[in-house]
Amino acid sequence: MNKKLLFVFLCLVFFILLFPHLIFTPKLVLVENVNADELLAKVNEEHPYLIMTQGSKVLVLNKTTNKTLFTFTFKEPESGYKFLSDGILLYGYYPDEFVSCEILFLNYNLSLKWKMATKFNISGDYMIVFPQSSEEFEKYILMFGSVVKGFEVNRGLLLFNRFNGKFVEIIPFYGNDLKVIKDKAYILSLNHTLDKSGHTKKIWYEILIYDLRKKNLIKIVKTPAKVKYGEMFYAYLLKGEEYIGLHFSDKAQTPDAVDRICIYTLDLKLIDCLTFEYHEEYNPNEFPSEIYLESVSEVWIIDDYLIIERKSGRKEVYKING
């Protein structure tokens, strides 16, 4: 064999051996030398108050003394909150359906800036909003919801004036979760196809990018989360400064459960996914079970790190090598 053929042969062998590693090198790497609590402390420092929810009641506390500074009880059975750049959104809502919703917007002096209430009313025009996915963009607050006029129902992304709470317009894209990064809205949507008899044949999650300045849809990407019709599952988006993520959790009532966390670039190029599978024989006399304690409870993207907290309280930090 001459030298040229030998060189080509060696290069080919080297490429064959190295190629799988180039393709399958993980982009989310578990790291031991980064303190999760220190990363989370940076985020918590941004918020001046501690907020607690107790069913329909919400309390705003002094972060240092735990003294209650503001309290409000909503008519709706559940309450929540969202820190925005110039104030705090407090809301009461029904978790499973659009019945009614009440929203208070406080400035950081805890003075009421505006109040909004929406209620189902078949006798006239009405609007129902879903504030759990509230986000902000310039002079707007964005929430999913429905605007109904007569028998016409328009569902989508509702824009409100952040200074007075007045409804401005509706963007015709509806979803299950929403995140705004820079001037782009990322919408998580559950889609489906029907068979010939009209029954659901296939369901899947997809992420949409909508340009809030140009007011046009940029991209739609189908996620790798495998959704099984009829089983319990949920999914929500993760927001970072340079990344967008997805946490999908299959909580089927079986001994098997799955948590799947995927990280994308801001143009929705998939970087990597982590999959955690739990297998256990069901024991009704044992709670909390091992599956419950090991399943994922919270996920954050901070800088170039993904932080995962289990229900047991244990935290893991992964470096994002995007």
The answer to whether residue 47 is domain-embedded is: yes
Tell me how far apart the alpha carbons of residues 103 and 165 are, in angstroms, rounded to a whole number.
9
- Are 128 and 118 in contact, with CB atoms under 8 Å apart? yes
Q: How far is CA 240 from CA 1, 34, 83, 251, 263, in A?
A: 55, 18, 16, 25, 10
- Give the pLDDT band (50/70/90) at residue 150: confident
The answer to whether residue 184 is domain-embedded is: no
The answer to whether residue 54 is domain-embedded is: yes
The answer to whether residue 150 is domain-embedded is: yes
Q: Encode pLDDT of 1-47 as tens digits.
A: 565 665 555 556 555 555 444 455 679 999 999 999 999 988 777 78
- Are 257 and 250 in contact, with CB atoms under 8 Å apart? yes
The answer to whether residue 20 is domain-embedded is: no
The tokens of 261 are what? 């966390």
- Are 76 and 94 in contact, with CB atoms under 8 Å apart? yes
pTM equals 0.85
CATH number at residue 106: 2.40.128.630
The answer to whether residue 91 is domain-embedded is: yes
Q: Which of 268, 299, 293 is nearest to 278 (CA)?
A: 293
Q: What angle do CA 99, 161, 184 make, to 5 degrees?
A: 95
User: What domain count does the chain have?
Assistant: 1
The answer to whether residue 208 is domain-embedded is: no
Q: Encode pLDDT of 161-211 as tens digits.
A: 999 999 999 999 999 999 999 999 999 998 877 777 766 678 889 999 999
The answer to whether residue 307 is domain-embedded is: no
Q: Find the domain containing 35 and state its range.
A: 28-174
